[in-house]
Amino acid sequence: MCGIVGFTGEQSAAPILLDGLKKLEYRGYDSAGIAVMDHGCISVNKVTGRIANLCEKTKDGTAVPGAAGIGHTRWATHGAPTEENAHPHLSNDGRFAIVHNGIIENYLSLREELIKDGYHFDSETDTEVIVHLIEMYYKGDMRDALIRTTNRLRGSYALGVICSEEPGKLYAVREASPLILGVGVDENYFASDVTALVNYTRNVIYLEDGEFAELSGNSVKVFDCLGKPVEKKVSRILWDVQAAEKGGYEHFMLKEIMEQPGAVKATISPRIKDGKIVFEELKLTAKDLLRIRKIVITACGSAYYAGCAAKYALEKISHIPVEVELASELRYSDPMIDNHTLLIVISQSGETADTIAALKEAKARGARTLAIVNVVGSTVAKLADNVVYTWAGPEIAVATTKGYTTQVAVLCMLSVWFADMMGIEDENYPKYVKELQALPRMIQHAIDMNSSIPALAKKYHDSKSLFFIGRNTDYAVSLEGALKMKEISYLHSEAYAAGELKHGTIALIEEHTPVIALCCNPAIMEKTLSNIVEVKSRGAEVLALTFRNNQKIVSVADDLMFIPKVDPLFSAVVEIVPLQLLAYYVAKENGCDIDKPKNLAKSVTVE
Ligand code: AGP
């Protein structure tokens, strides 16, 4: 995810900005830049790649004079990772520079409007509209210009702004993207993450959504969105520097689990406009979709399980038959794929060797291709005819969490979009849209409802084997739940379709064998309940995942995890969250290296 830093004081700003940017490197980025103000002029330096390149370009900052400035690390979303797209962005008249984290959802219409008004754009980013709006609205009063500008923006933004006519001043704005002010002695700072500040000050002010700040070397003023001054409390950071690099979490995996409400929101909300699902990035027409006889989804690991989970929504809502194939199998299977097939390829990294090979194979057979990818500009994204990016931000832990949930979210949205594009009249359309919009909130509820998971982990962490069972989407989520458990805790865990147990696996159930039973689909609840009774009568210890008021399951299970009520077609996005937490806490109990499990790599670039 992008990172922001800002400094004003008496010292030279550039070396401090570069140091702050280095502290933000762990978040992942593909370009970086700084803008420094000196004697009424703003100088901008940007590079692609590492901060080291920026240090080289600016001679560790010594070549850039000035005591106030802003810096940024960019993780590309809108536009490739190039110097032009890197931040800071300058206004046409050179008087303003900005850095931005987040996504401006209405940037296309603002861009058109600004072009009509004579502004020219140097980048493909959503961010650049902001700096031109500031230039347009600035009439000698930055606060007024910021209020007018932010009134025009939809989406999420943390902004750092400098204006050459206001020497020594920094402006910081927060809306749905973190931004923290650092209070020093004769110098002040801001950053998207305390990591960048702790070397300089431990006194911080947390901005709230809708607030903005004006900083100079000796003052920090905070205002609400109407420009009224706000009294803020100065808090003291007690974390050590290393902990802060994980945003205060012990592991990246836990941080990424907790980031899921925001990641799923960033993926879903820009694609819902006026109650309609829109995929502006797709080149598929109604005619193209009506020619498709089947969808083949291919991927590896969790991305494959995301496809398994979404198959139900895709078939039910879009009425197109769906096959889900492991990429490593599909590539050597002489697959029945032709120009009436839509191949959907899923990959967080976009660099998985088997996935790339399967995509190439399908293209060679004439399939239309659509990639769901997190890393912008990756190989899969470049090869596919169509790309839908998940906006999960960089995922550092090897075990995917927000990568998976954002992939399933995109597939659920595609089911509804395909149906609508093909002219399928569905009275449930508004309900589907509402359910999709509610998913980030439901994930947060699922996190909040399961504070007992660390205690459950203490009970189950030394089990020999764990079995995950469920039916339909519950089964698909079981597959991902079992994978999470085995890859980070090294416990043997397997997922079975609940109805399959009695065809063999039940032989393995003995006194106290843990069975994790997923029961989140009311239509088939009774069936899974029978399977729970079967394993219980052979001594199994049942840990059920269900709704809080589901008395039938609550009364029969030994232990419980909960999710809020969600349409079973989309519930995989929420159901997986307690299972991720369970795997995390079991691994923690077992003293495992959670972020870097043995034998595993984040991106599997070999066959
Ligand atoms: C999941 O936790 C794993 N890290 C792994 O299964 C992963 O999902 C798989 O290797 C696919 O990676 P990709 O999404 O980057 O293609």
Q: Is the pLDDT of residue 489 over 60?
A: yes
199-232 core/surface letters (b: 16 or more CB in 10 A; e: else): ebbbbbbebeeebbbbbbbeebebbeeeeeeeeb
Lowest average pLDDT, out of 37-51, 256-270, 304-318, 381-395, goes to 381-395
**DSSP codes, 489-541:** H--EEEEEEGGGGGGTGGGG--TT-EEEEE---GGGHHHHHHHHHHHHTTT-E
* Residue ranges around ligand 1 (CB below 6 Å): 300-303, 347-349, 352, 355, 398-400, 487, 603-604
46 bridge partner residues: 33
Report the atom number in ligand 1 closest to the C-alpha of 355: 16
Query: Separation of 48 CA from ligand 1 center, angstroms?
Result: 26
* C-alpha dist (Å) from residue 606 to 294, 352, 355: 29, 7, 10
Those residues with Cβ within 8 angstroms of residue 73's Cβ, 6 or more apart along the chain or in another chain: 2, 3, 21, 24, 25, 27, 29, 31, 32, 51
Lowest average pLDDT, out of 123-132, 317-326, 397-406, 497-506, goes to 497-506
Give me the pLDDT at residue 195, please: 76
Give me the pLDDT at residue 377, please: 66
**Which of 256, 331, 352 to probe ligand 1 with, by most ligand atoms within 8 A of CB?**
352
Q: Whose CA is nearest to atom 2 of ligand 1?
A: 399
Work out the mean pLDDT of the chain and round it to a whole number.
93
Q: Whose CA is nearest to atom 7 of ligand 1?
A: 301
Report the atom number in ligand 1 closest to the C-alpha of 398: 4
Give me the pLDDT at residue 193, please: 79
C-alpha closest to that of 380 among 605, 78, 136, 102: 605
Q: What is the mean pLDDT of residues 329-353?
A: 93
CA 114 from chain centre, in angstroms, equals: 30
Give me the pLDDT at residue 564, please: 96
Give me the pLDDT at residue 29, please: 75
Residue by residue, what is the 3-state secondary structure of 201-259? Answer: CCEEEECCCCCEEEEECCEEEEECCCCCECCCCCEECCCCHHHHHCCCCCCHHHHHHHC
Q: Is the pLDDT of residue 28 over 70?
A: no
Q: Is the pLDDT of residue 244 over 70?
A: no
- 101's tokens: 């984290």
Sign of CA dihedral 504, 510, 513, 518: positive
Query: Separation of 306 CA from ligand 1 center, angstroms?
Result: 10
Q: Whose CA is nearest to atom 9 of ligand 1?
A: 301
* C-alpha dist (Å) from residue 148 to 139, 152, 209, 314: 11, 7, 16, 42
Report the atom number in ligand 1 closest to the C-alpha of 301: 6
Type of residue at 262: G
Residues in the chain: 607
Type of residue at 70: I
pLDDT band at 596 (very low <50, low <70, confident <90, very high): confident
Q: Is the pLDDT of residue 602 over 80?
A: no
* 3-class DSSP assignment, residue 274: coil
Note whether 393 and 252 are within 8 A (CB): no
Query: Separation of 603 CA from ligand 1 center, angstroms?
Result: 7
pLDDT band at 102 (very low <50, low <70, confident <90, very high): confident
Q: Whose CA is nearest to atom 16 of ligand 1?
A: 347
Report the atom number in ligand 1 closest to the C-alpha of 348: 14
C-alpha closest to that of 472 among 518, 438, 429: 518
Give me the pLDDT at residue 241, please: 58
Give me the pLDDT at residue 340, please: 97
Condensed to tens digits (0 to 9), the pLDDT of residues 108-164 reads: 999 999 999 999 999 999 999 999 999 999 999 999 999 999 999 998 899 999 999
* C-alpha dist (Å) from residue 13 to 42, 59, 70, 217, 358: 12, 13, 8, 11, 49
Give the active site residues: 2, 602
Query: Separation of 258 CA from ligand 1 center, angstroms?
Result: 19
Q: Is the pLDDT of residue 37 over 70?
A: yes
Note whether 4 and 160 are within 8 A (CB): yes
**Which of 253, 298, 302 to probe ligand 1 with, by most ligand atoms within 8 A of CB?**
302
Q: Is the pLDDT of residue 243 over 90?
A: no
End-to-end, the C-alpha distance of the chain in Å comes to: 28
Give me the pLDDT at residue 506, please: 87
Condensed to tens digits (0 to 9), the pLDDT of residues 202-238 reads: 999 988 889 999 999 999 999 999 999 999 999 887 6
CATH 3.40.50.10490 fits 453-589, yes or no: yes
* 3-class DSSP assignment, residue 310: helix
Using a 10 angstrom Cβ sphere, with 0-12 exposed, 13-18 middle and 19 or more buried, the burial of residue 161 is buried
Report the atom number in ligand 1 closest to the C-alpha of 349: 15
183 bridge partner residues: 188
Condensed to tens digits (0 to 9), the pLDDT of residues 501-512 reads: 889 888 899 999
Give me the pLDDT at residue 133, please: 98
- Give the CATH number of domain 2-238: 3.60.20.10
Query: Separation of 450 CA from ligand 1 center, angstroms?
Result: 26
- Domains of the chain, residue spans: 2-238, 245-447, 453-589
Give me the pLDDT at residue 245, please: 65
Q: What is the mean pLDDT of residues 247-276?
A: 93
Same fold, 245-447 and 453-589: yes
CATH 2.60.20.30 fits 245-447, yes or no: no
How many alpha carbons lie under 13 Å from residue 521 in its C-beta half-sphere?
22
Condensed to tens digits (0 to 9), the pLDDT of residues 530-562 reads: 999 999 999 999 999 999 889 999 999 999 999
Query: Separation of 457 CA from ligand 1 center, angstroms?
Result: 24
Note whether 181 and 214 are within 8 A (CB): no
Condensed to tens digits (0 to 9), the pLDDT of residues 358-369 reads: 999 999 999 999
C-alpha 275/C-alpha 342 separation (Å) is 26
Type of residue at 263: A
**DSSP codes, 430-464:** HHHHHHHHHHHHHHHHHHHTTTTHHHHHHHHTT-S
For β-strands 170-175 and 180-183, DSSP reports them as unpaired
Note whether 352 and 407 are within 8 A (CB): no
Q: Whose CA is nearest to atom 8 of ligand 1?
A: 302
